[in-house]
Amino acid sequence: MLINLTVLPGDGIGPEVTEQAVLVLQAVAESFGHQTQLQRKPIGGAALALTNDPLPAETIQACLCSGAVLLGAVGSPTFDHNPGHLRPEAGLLRVRRELGAYANLRPAVFFPALEDSSPLRPEIVRGTDIMIVRELLGGAYFGQPRSIEGASGSRVAVNTMRYSESEIERIARVAFELAMKRRRRVLSVDKANVLECSRLWREVVTRVGKEYAEVKLGHQYVDSAAMLLVQRPTDFDVVLTENMFGDILSDQAGGVVGSLGLLASASIGGSVGLYEPVHGSAPDIAGKGIANPLGAILSTAMLLRHSFQLEMEAAAIEGAVSAVLSEGARTTDLAGKTHKAISTAEMGDRVVMAVRTAARAIA
């Protein structure tokens, strides 16, 4: 098979982690007899610096013509004072929209080797395996009108949270379909005691849920869900939620399983899938070679699974990550007091070696 990708390294630690992810992907492809074809394009602050556009036309064209898109991270303090449409993040939101990627899957799985890395007691976190299904193209992120207006000192800012029934319905279906392949539980997270958007959300999700009789559907307000996520993380299977709640809860889930640096994501549902680690550009550690590449590496596993239906190859990457963690490989974010930290590149190397070993075992 030909695995043709557009790689968008982006800002901060994005280029460092995607470099390792690409090396792992190439090792898997080689081991399983696939070809890879990659082109790199700028996005975010990197693109702003080159073209004054956080998503140049050439970048989006390349994405639309490839089998999948692998993204590093977007965001840079250099552009903090730019108007909204000239911030790096605008490039990310536009690429999601242009690709039609409305379903953002963010798994948060606890690796048994990481008992020392989670802030939670082992008996609480052990067995955690959550799939957050975050709606990615609606809500306050995209709702119109939005503005900051008025004279300095008396300005007023407006954002609009907006959801249509069809937007809620399509993301609900994604969650229920995933639940059917998992433990058959969906927890829909909203704020229906306050927000109209959430009341519609709950109604539509309940309606769609009737088509999935085998799936147990629950509803939880987002504040309460946030608390339960640290108290009883193993109770969660599929979490279905709107754009901003999903943004917040997925970072929290990263903390629960030990590090945000571990979390991968897939943004699917449109013409081309977009895969990115959940962590941001982390400007404070950019260029130091200490970032955790596992979120990016695990994103390539999701890419192989969801855009190329290469389940065995995806599992090989996930198995390799689990193996290197069991052997004690730790980047700074995971090392704590008990382990010596290795660099981004060393972690990438270790996964490459483990992937090759696993592939030989299967072959």
Catalytic residue among 53, 163, 191, 237: 191
349 is catalytic: no
Among ligand IPM, Mn ion, none, residue 139 binds (CB under 5-8 Å by kind)? none
Q: Distance between CA 145 and CA 140 in Å, rounded?
A: 10
247 is catalytic: yes
Count of residues that bind ligand IPM according to CB under 6 A: 7
Binding residues for Mn ion restricted to 5-24, rule: CB under 5 A? none
Task: Give whichever of 260 and 316 is closer to Mn ion, judged by the CB atom.
Answer: 260
Regarding 318 and contact with ligand IPM (CB under 6 A), the answer is: no
Catalytic residue among 53, 237, 247, 333: 247
Task: Give whichever of 163 and 212 is closer to ligand IPM, judged by the CB atom.
Answer: 163
Q: Distance between CA 19 and CA 211 in Å, rounded?
A: 43
191 is catalytic: yes
**Angle subtended by helix axes 294-308 and 14-32, to nearest 10:** 50
* Least gap, CB of 161 to ligand IPM (angstroms): 14
Regarding 247 and contact with Mn ion (CB under 5 A), the answer is: yes
Residue found by looking up tokens 């090396």 in the block? 23
Task: Give whichever of 11 and 247 is closer to Mn ion, judged by the CB atom.
Answer: 247
* Least gap, CB of 108 to ligand IPM (angstroms): 13
* Least gap, CB of 208 to ligand IPM (angstroms): 24
* C-beta separation of 132 from 241 below 8 A: yes
Residue numbers at the binding site for Mn ion (CB under 5 A): 247
Catalytic residues: 141, 191, 223, 247, 251
Residue numbers at the binding site for ligand IPM (CB under 6 A): 74-75, 89, 92, 247, 278, 280
